Amino acid sequence: MKNQVIVITGAGSGLGASLAKKYSEIGAHICLLGRTENKLKVIGRELPNNYSIHTVDISKLSDVKRVFDSITQTYGQIDLLFNNAGVGSFDLAEELSEEDIHNMIDTNLKGTIFCSQEVLKQMKKQNSGTIVNIVSTAGLIGKATESVYCASKFGVKGFTESLVVELTGTPISVFAAYMGGMNTDFWSGIFDQDKTSKMMNPVDIAEIIMDNIKPRKNIAIPEIIIKNVK
Protein backbone atom coordinates (compact mmCIF):
# COMPACT_ATOMS: atom_id res chain seq x y z
CA MET A 1 0.00 0.00 0.00
CA LYS A 2 3.01 2.33 0.07
CA ASN A 3 2.33 5.56 -1.87
CA GLN A 4 -1.22 4.49 -2.68
CA VAL A 5 -4.05 7.01 -2.28
CA ILE A 6 -6.72 5.94 0.20
CA VAL A 7 -9.97 7.86 0.70
CA ILE A 8 -11.87 7.36 3.96
CA THR A 9 -15.25 8.94 4.67
CA GLY A 10 -16.19 9.48 8.30
CA ALA A 11 -12.47 9.64 9.09
CA GLY A 12 -12.75 11.92 12.11
CA SER A 13 -13.31 9.16 14.66
CA GLY A 14 -13.98 5.48 15.28
CA LEU A 15 -13.25 2.94 12.58
CA GLY A 16 -12.42 5.60 9.99
CA ALA A 17 -9.71 7.05 12.21
CA SER A 18 -8.35 3.57 13.00
CA LEU A 19 -8.14 2.70 9.31
CA ALA A 20 -6.40 6.00 8.59
CA LYS A 21 -3.73 5.34 11.22
CA LYS A 22 -3.13 1.76 10.14
CA TYR A 23 -2.74 2.61 6.45
CA SER A 24 -0.64 5.67 7.18
CA GLU A 25 1.76 3.48 9.13
CA ILE A 26 2.50 1.50 5.97
CA GLY A 27 3.13 4.57 3.85
CA ALA A 28 -0.16 5.33 2.09
CA HIS A 29 -1.41 8.85 1.45
CA ILE A 30 -4.63 9.22 3.44
CA CYS A 31 -7.47 11.49 2.29
CA LEU A 32 -9.48 12.22 5.42
CA LEU A 33 -13.11 13.03 4.59
CA GLY A 34 -15.76 14.26 7.01
CA ARG A 35 -18.10 17.09 7.89
CA THR A 36 -16.08 18.53 10.77
CA GLU A 37 -12.69 19.95 9.83
CA ASN A 38 -11.38 20.18 13.41
CA LYS A 39 -11.97 16.46 14.02
CA LEU A 40 -10.12 15.61 10.82
CA LYS A 41 -7.22 17.86 11.82
CA VAL A 42 -6.89 16.05 15.15
CA ILE A 43 -6.66 12.68 13.38
CA GLY A 44 -4.31 14.08 10.76
CA ARG A 45 -1.82 15.18 13.41
CA GLU A 46 -1.68 11.57 14.63
CA LEU A 47 -0.73 10.15 11.24
CA PRO A 48 2.95 9.35 10.60
CA ASN A 49 2.80 9.96 6.83
CA ASN A 50 1.22 12.22 4.24
CA TYR A 51 -2.46 13.07 4.50
CA SER A 52 -4.95 15.63 3.25
CA ILE A 53 -8.19 16.95 4.75
CA HIS A 54 -11.40 17.30 2.77
CA THR A 55 -14.58 18.58 4.38
CA VAL A 56 -17.63 17.14 2.67
CA ASP A 57 -21.30 16.38 3.16
CA ILE A 58 -21.60 13.04 1.38
CA SER A 59 -25.40 13.35 1.25
CA LYS A 60 -24.97 16.10 -1.38
CA LEU A 61 -23.82 14.90 -4.80
CA SER A 62 -22.40 18.31 -5.76
CA ASP A 63 -20.21 18.30 -2.66
CA VAL A 64 -19.04 14.74 -3.34
CA LYS A 65 -18.17 15.64 -6.95
CA ARG A 66 -16.18 18.67 -5.77
CA VAL A 67 -14.07 16.67 -3.33
CA PHE A 68 -13.42 13.65 -5.54
CA ASP A 69 -12.53 15.88 -8.50
CA SER A 70 -10.06 17.72 -6.28
CA ILE A 71 -8.47 14.47 -5.06
CA THR A 72 -8.05 12.99 -8.54
CA GLN A 73 -6.72 16.24 -9.96
CA THR A 74 -4.19 16.55 -7.13
CA TYR A 75 -3.04 12.94 -6.78
CA GLY A 76 -3.98 11.43 -10.13
CA GLN A 77 -5.53 8.28 -8.69
CA ILE A 78 -7.65 6.74 -5.94
CA ASP A 79 -6.61 3.21 -5.06
CA LEU A 80 -8.96 2.46 -2.21
CA LEU A 81 -12.24 3.98 -1.01
CA PHE A 82 -13.76 3.27 2.38
CA ASN A 83 -17.43 4.21 2.50
CA ASN A 84 -17.38 4.42 6.27
CA ALA A 85 -19.44 7.48 7.19
CA GLY A 86 -22.75 6.73 8.85
CA VAL A 87 -25.37 8.15 11.21
CA GLY A 88 -28.05 6.54 13.32
CA SER A 89 -31.19 7.56 15.20
CA PHE A 90 -32.83 4.85 17.28
CA ASP A 91 -36.45 4.79 18.41
CA LEU A 92 -39.73 3.09 17.65
CA ALA A 93 -40.59 3.46 13.96
CA GLU A 94 -43.50 5.83 14.52
CA GLU A 95 -41.42 8.07 16.79
CA LEU A 96 -38.65 8.83 14.30
CA SER A 97 -38.76 12.37 12.97
CA GLU A 98 -38.77 13.24 9.28
CA GLU A 99 -35.34 14.83 9.75
CA ASP A 100 -33.95 11.64 11.32
CA ILE A 101 -35.30 9.54 8.46
CA HIS A 102 -33.88 11.79 5.76
CA ASN A 103 -30.54 12.02 7.55
CA MET A 104 -30.06 8.24 7.75
CA ILE A 105 -31.18 7.51 4.19
CA ASP A 106 -29.27 10.47 2.75
CA THR A 107 -26.00 9.79 4.57
CA ASN A 108 -25.87 6.03 4.91
CA LEU A 109 -27.37 5.02 1.57
CA LYS A 110 -27.20 7.97 -0.82
CA GLY A 111 -23.79 9.01 0.49
CA THR A 112 -22.38 5.54 -0.19
CA ILE A 113 -23.89 5.58 -3.69
CA PHE A 114 -22.62 9.07 -4.52
CA CYS A 115 -19.06 8.37 -3.36
CA SER A 116 -19.00 5.04 -5.19
CA GLN A 117 -20.24 6.65 -8.41
CA GLU A 118 -17.49 9.25 -8.35
CA VAL A 119 -14.67 6.88 -7.45
CA LEU A 120 -15.76 4.31 -10.04
CA LYS A 121 -15.29 6.88 -12.81
CA GLN A 122 -11.64 7.25 -11.76
CA MET A 123 -11.03 3.57 -11.05
CA LYS A 124 -12.32 2.58 -14.47
CA LYS A 125 -9.95 5.09 -16.07
CA GLN A 126 -6.96 3.75 -14.15
CA ASN A 127 -8.21 0.15 -14.51
CA SER A 128 -7.71 -0.67 -10.83
CA GLY A 129 -9.09 -0.03 -7.38
CA THR A 130 -11.06 -1.32 -4.41
CA ILE A 131 -14.27 -0.08 -2.79
CA VAL A 132 -14.98 -1.13 0.79
CA ASN A 133 -18.47 -0.51 2.16
CA ILE A 134 -18.78 -0.51 5.94
CA VAL A 135 -22.32 -1.79 6.31
CA SER A 136 -23.01 -3.09 9.87
CA THR A 137 -24.94 -6.19 10.87
CA ALA A 138 -27.97 -3.88 10.73
CA GLY A 139 -27.78 -4.57 6.99
CA LEU A 140 -28.37 -8.28 7.61
CA ILE A 141 -31.20 -8.51 10.12
CA GLY A 142 -33.99 -6.24 11.33
CA LYS A 143 -33.68 -4.86 14.85
CA ALA A 144 -36.12 -3.20 17.24
CA THR A 145 -35.77 0.61 17.43
CA GLU A 146 -33.46 0.48 14.37
CA SER A 147 -36.04 0.20 11.58
CA VAL A 148 -34.88 3.06 9.36
CA TYR A 149 -31.22 2.57 10.21
CA CYS A 150 -31.63 -1.06 9.10
CA ALA A 151 -33.49 0.08 5.99
CA SER A 152 -30.58 2.33 5.02
CA LYS A 153 -28.06 -0.46 5.63
CA PHE A 154 -30.14 -3.08 3.79
CA GLY A 155 -30.04 -0.62 0.88
CA VAL A 156 -26.25 -0.46 1.07
CA LYS A 157 -26.16 -4.27 1.07
CA GLY A 158 -28.21 -4.42 -2.13
CA PHE A 159 -26.13 -1.69 -3.75
CA THR A 160 -22.89 -3.45 -2.80
CA GLU A 161 -23.99 -6.85 -4.07
CA SER A 162 -25.09 -5.28 -7.36
CA LEU A 163 -21.72 -3.55 -7.76
CA VAL A 164 -19.98 -6.90 -7.28
CA VAL A 165 -22.00 -8.29 -10.19
CA GLU A 166 -21.46 -5.22 -12.39
CA LEU A 167 -17.70 -5.32 -11.85
CA THR A 168 -17.20 -9.07 -12.25
CA GLY A 169 -14.32 -9.69 -14.65
CA THR A 170 -12.78 -6.25 -14.07
CA PRO A 171 -9.73 -5.40 -11.94
CA ILE A 172 -11.96 -3.35 -9.61
CA SER A 173 -13.07 -5.14 -6.44
CA VAL A 174 -15.91 -4.42 -4.03
CA PHE A 175 -15.98 -5.59 -0.43
CA ALA A 176 -18.60 -5.37 2.32
CA ALA A 177 -17.90 -5.48 6.05
CA TYR A 178 -20.81 -6.34 8.31
CA MET A 179 -19.92 -5.82 11.94
CA GLY A 180 -21.69 -5.44 15.24
CA GLY A 181 -21.39 -2.46 17.54
CA MET A 182 -17.98 -0.93 18.12
CA ASN A 183 -16.79 1.10 21.06
CA THR A 184 -16.88 4.50 19.32
CA ASP A 185 -18.47 7.94 19.63
CA PHE A 186 -21.30 6.68 17.41
CA TRP A 187 -23.08 5.43 20.55
CA SER A 188 -22.52 8.59 22.60
CA GLY A 189 -25.79 9.52 24.30
CA ILE A 190 -27.36 6.20 23.31
CA PHE A 191 -25.53 3.63 25.44
CA ASP A 192 -23.72 4.10 28.73
CA GLN A 193 -20.02 3.43 29.21
CA ASP A 194 -20.64 0.02 30.73
CA LYS A 195 -22.31 -1.18 27.55
CA THR A 196 -19.90 0.45 25.08
CA SER A 197 -16.91 -0.94 26.95
CA LYS A 198 -18.08 -4.45 26.02
CA MET A 199 -18.28 -3.61 22.32
CA MET A 200 -15.61 -4.37 19.74
CA ASN A 201 -12.46 -2.28 19.44
CA PRO A 202 -12.34 -0.39 16.10
CA VAL A 203 -8.59 -1.05 15.87
CA ASP A 204 -9.32 -4.79 15.79
CA ILE A 205 -11.96 -4.29 13.11
CA ALA A 206 -9.57 -2.20 11.01
CA GLU A 207 -6.95 -4.94 11.16
CA ILE A 208 -9.47 -7.63 10.18
CA ILE A 209 -10.70 -5.62 7.20
CA MET A 210 -7.19 -4.81 6.03
CA ASP A 211 -6.20 -8.46 6.17
CA ASN A 212 -9.27 -9.59 4.22
CA ILE A 213 -8.98 -7.08 1.37
CA LYS A 214 -5.34 -7.87 0.61
CA PRO A 215 -5.08 -9.13 -2.98
CA ARG A 216 -4.47 -12.87 -3.10
CA LYS A 217 -4.03 -15.11 -6.11
CA ASN A 218 -7.18 -17.02 -7.08
CA ILE A 219 -9.09 -15.76 -4.04
CA ALA A 220 -11.96 -13.29 -3.81
CA ILE A 221 -13.55 -12.29 -0.49
CA PRO A 222 -16.66 -10.19 -1.23
CA GLU A 223 -17.77 -9.80 2.40
CA ILE A 224 -17.09 -10.60 6.04
CA ILE A 225 -19.31 -10.69 9.12
CA ILE A 226 -17.80 -9.69 12.47
CA LYS A 227 -19.88 -10.13 15.61
CA ASN A 228 -19.54 -9.21 19.25
CA VAL A 229 -19.03 -12.05 21.71
CA LYS A 230 -22.30 -12.39 23.60
Given a contact cutoff of 8 angstroms between Cβ atoms, the answer to whether 152 and 104 are in contact is yes
Q: Is the pLDDT of residue 1 over 80?
A: no
Q: Is the pLDDT of residue 191 over 90?
A: no
Summarised one tens digit per residue, pLDDT across range 116-134 is 999 999 999 999 999 999 9
- If pLDDT is split at 50, 70 and 90, which confidence band does 2 have? confident
Q: Taking the domains of the chain in order of start, what are their residue ranges? A: 5-226
Q: Which of 12-16, 97-101, 210-214 has the highest mean pLDDT?
A: 97-101
- If pLDDT is split at 50, 70 and 90, which confidence band does 181 have? confident
**What pLDDT, on the 0 to 100 scale, is given for residue 229?**
76
DSSP string computed for the chain: -TT-EEEEETTTSHHHHHHHHHHHHTT-EEEEEES-HHHHHHHHTT-SS-EEEEE--TT-HHHHHHHHHHHHHHHS---EEEE-------S-GGG--HHHHHHHIIIIIIHHHHHHHHHHHHHHHHT-EEEEEE--GGGTS--TT-HHHHHHHHHHHHHHHHHHHHTTTSSEEEEEEEE--BSSGGGTTTS-HHHHTTSBPHHHHHHHHHHHSS-BTTB---EEEE----
- State mean pLDDT over 187-213: 79
Fold of 5-226: Rossmann fold (3.40.50)
Given a contact cutoff of 8 angstroms between Cβ atoms, the answer to whether 14 and 202 are in contact is yes
**What pLDDT, on the 0 to 100 scale, is given for residue 117?**
98
- Report, as residue numbers or ranges, the catalytic residues: 149
* Closest of 228, 206, 225, 151 to residue 1, by C-alpha: 206
Q: What's the predicted TM-score (pTM) here?
A: 0.93
**What pLDDT, on the 0 to 100 scale, is given for residue 220?**
83
Summarised one tens digit per residue, pLDDT across range 41-74 is 999 999 998 999 999 999 999 999 999 999 999 9
**What pLDDT, on the 0 to 100 scale, is given for residue 194?**
63
